[in-house]
Amino acid sequence: MKKSFLNHIIVSVFLCFTMGLYAQIPIEPNDPENPDVPAFYKSKLMDIKQELAGVKLGEVKQIAESPGGLPVYAVCYGAKDNFHSQANYNSAVAARNPVYFAKKTKAVKPVVFFLGPVHGQEGEGIAGLVNLIRVAETGKDHRAKEWAGLKSSMDKCRVIIIPCGNPDGRKRCPYDGFVGLPGEVMTKYGQGTHSDGTLWRWPEAKSLHPMKGDVALLGAYYNNDGINMMHDDFFLPMAEETTAILKIARDEVPDMTVSLHSHNYPPCILQPAYVPYFMKERVAVLANRLNDHYKNQGLPYMADGWQSKAQVDDEKFPPRSSFNLISALHHISGTMSFTFECCHGTVDDKIKMSPVDYDTIVDIQLNLYQEMFNYLLANRLYWE
């Protein structure tokens, strides 16, 4: 009896500590309350913790600790192959063949890297990836919806999933979803506010980095040190999280990498900057295929006439394209890297878009993942 009581106390203390570790900041007065979020929409840090605790088919590891003391996790599925590397990617390209960095033949599995939100308010990607982990484990998502094709595709590959790249920012965002809320609310808690209370907004929010000084509310874009991982110093990273993300790309040599983001518009894949033109063309093909797929599935999509195109970066001054995390991921590993923007489901009178619910957001995410596997398995680049 005494031992049982002691165990109960230990568990209770652990749970109290864990809940405190992942507790969100309160919503400021006069801002709308957190909307009702269905149980299948797993967008919280605690949801990640609980999901990873149940992983049996994959390998879970902590890859970094945030400035706020929070763990950054990765879960891997499929055995890691030996790529017989004898040079880094940059040097191999200089030698005119990436095979010196990694031999990628039909004998080795394709590798797919899913990078969860590095902007903490963009929890749509967390909800998608937690459901993807459930699919990897059971073949079904948290709605008990079956994804046999997606499960089969994952089983053919080495898959690395970072459910959340910025736990500090996610903890600081008090909203678990933004469906039905004004876009200004997302902007406030995403990019933060100046000392006078005005919103930083995009793209001005990138003009001060690290985000320190003229700050009242530190937005979820940033970790607790004010670092936006999308725009870290990639040749000398400031954030441990950035270093860990790039190390995974360097060690795992992913064929395809997606960085999951969200905005107030229909979902789409964005073109990477400062990567080889042939890689831009591949991303454009996938982006257009995905948009057509969304349209055929009755999901939100970019309007007819929109088309992703490969373009040359910054032919004249001033430069407008940035060498960001997506660019860095390619140049450290040769991966086909890109940003995916999901829709928050926010309401904005200036943006004409049909209402989006949480079911739709999860379907947007999981359909993206399936289309990524479909494209890669049919169009893989071999290095041999």
Rg for the chain, CA atoms, rounded: 21
Q: What is the CATH number of domain 41-378?
A: 3.40.630.10
Give me the residue label for tokens 């999860």: 362
CB 82 within 8 A of CB 252: no
Tokens of 269: 């894949």
Residue 349, CB half-sphere, CA atoms under 13 Å: how many? 0
Q: Residue ranges per domain, the chain?
A: 41-378
- CA distances in angstroms from 183 to 38, 170, 179, 180, 265, listed in the order given: 21, 18, 10, 9, 10
Q: What is the pLDDT of residue 20?
A: 60
305 Ramachandran zone, left/alpha/beta (phi>0; psi -120 to 50):
left
Query: pTM above the 0.75 mark?
Result: yes
- B/e letters for 82-117, b = 16+ CB within 10 Å, e = fewer, are ebebebebeebbeeeebbbbbbbeeebbbbbbbbbb
3-state DSSP assignment of residue 320: coil
Q: What is the pLDDT of residue 351?
A: 80
Q: What is the pLDDT of residue 25?
A: 78
Please list the pLDDT of the chain residue by residue as tens digits (384 residues).
444 444 444 334 444 445 566 677 789 999 999 889 999 999 999 999 999 999 999 999 999 999 999 999 999 999 999 999 999 999 999 999 999 999 999 999 999 999 999 999 999 999 999 999 999 999 999 999 999 999 999 999 999 999 999 999 999 999 999 999 999 999 999 999 999 999 999 999 999 999 999 999 999 999 999 999 999 999 999 999 999 999 999 999 999 999 999 999 999 999 999 999 999 999 999 999 999 999 999 999 999 889 999 999 999 999 999 999 999 999 999 999 999 999 999 998 778 788 899 999 999 999 999 999 999 999 999 999
Q: Which of 324, 322, 326 lies closest to 339 in space, CA to CA? A: 326
CA 84 to chain centre: 29
- B/e letters for 192-208, b = 16+ CB within 10 Å, e = fewer, are bbbeeeebbbeeebbee
Work out the number of other CB atoms within 10 angstroms of the CB of residue 351. Answer: 13
**Crossing angle of helices 358-378/277-297, nearest 10°?**
130
